[in-house]
Amino acid sequence: MTAAKGEASVHIDADPQTVYEMVADVTRMGEWSPETHTCVWVGGATGPEVGARFKAKNKRGWMRWSNKPTVVAAEPGKEFAFSRKAPGSEVVWRYEMEADGSGTKLTESYDVVKPGPAFLDKVIDKMIGVEDRGADLVEGMQQTIERVKAAAEAERAAG
C-alpha cells in the first residue's frame, strides 16, 4: 500500500449513535463498500466488541480475497475500528463519529501500522488494476461513507 494513511469525511443528518450502529454492524458492509461485499461475525462473535472477529470477503475487478479482521475499538456513538493483518503487514481501519450541529461528522480512515513488502504492493496494485492504491482507497472510503449517509438519512426520514 503506497500511502501510509488516508481518510474521508462526510456530514450525516443523523445522531452519532445511529451512525455508529450502522457502521459497526459489519454484516451491512456490503451495502456501503465498493470493495467489501460480505462480512459475517466468526468465532462466536455476534456484534461489535473489542476482540471480536469477522470474516470479510472482498472483490475488485476479477480479484477476490478474504480476511479476518479483529475489532480493536467499539465505543458506541464515537468509534468503531478493526485491524486487518496479512502476511507481513497490518492496517487499522477506523470509523469515528463526532457530533456536528444537528448531525454527525463521520470519518473513515486507514492507517498502515506495519507495511507489507513493497514488491507485493506493486503486484497487488497491478492485479487490481490501479495506479495509486492510496488514492483508490480514499475514493472507496468516500463512496462508502456517502452510502452510509444516504441510508442513515433515508431511515431518519422514514422513521
Q: Among 8-22, 36-50, 105-119, 122-136, whose mean pLDDT is lowest?
A: 122-136
The confidence score (pLDDT) of residue 119 equals 65
Its domain, for residue 65, covers 5-158
137 with 110: CB under 8 angstroms?
A: yes
pLDDT digits (tens, 9 = 90+) for 101-137: 989 999 999 999 987 767 666 777 666 777 777 788 8
The yes-or-no verdict on residue 23 having pLDDT over 60 is: yes
| C-alpha dihedral (30, 151, 95, 47), degrees to nearest 10 | -60
- Tell me the average pLDDT of the chain: 91
What is the CATH number for 19? 3.30.530.20
Residue percentage of the chain with pLDDT more than 90: 71
* Number of structural domains the chain divides into: 1
CB 46 within 8 A of CB 27: no
DSSP, residue by residue, 41-72: EETT--S--TT-EEEEEEEETTEEEEE--EEE
Predicted pLDDT of residue 88: 80
Distance CA 154, CA 138 (A): 24
Which pLDDT score is estimated for 1? Answer: 47
Mean pLDDT for the stretch of residues 25-40: 96
Check residue 95 and give its pLDDT. Answer: 98
pTM attached to this predicted model:
0.91
The cell for 141 is 472510503
3-state secondary structure of 2: coil
Confidence of residue 86 (pLDDT cuts 50, 70, 90): confident
Angle at 43 between CA 117 and CA 152, to 5 degrees: 80
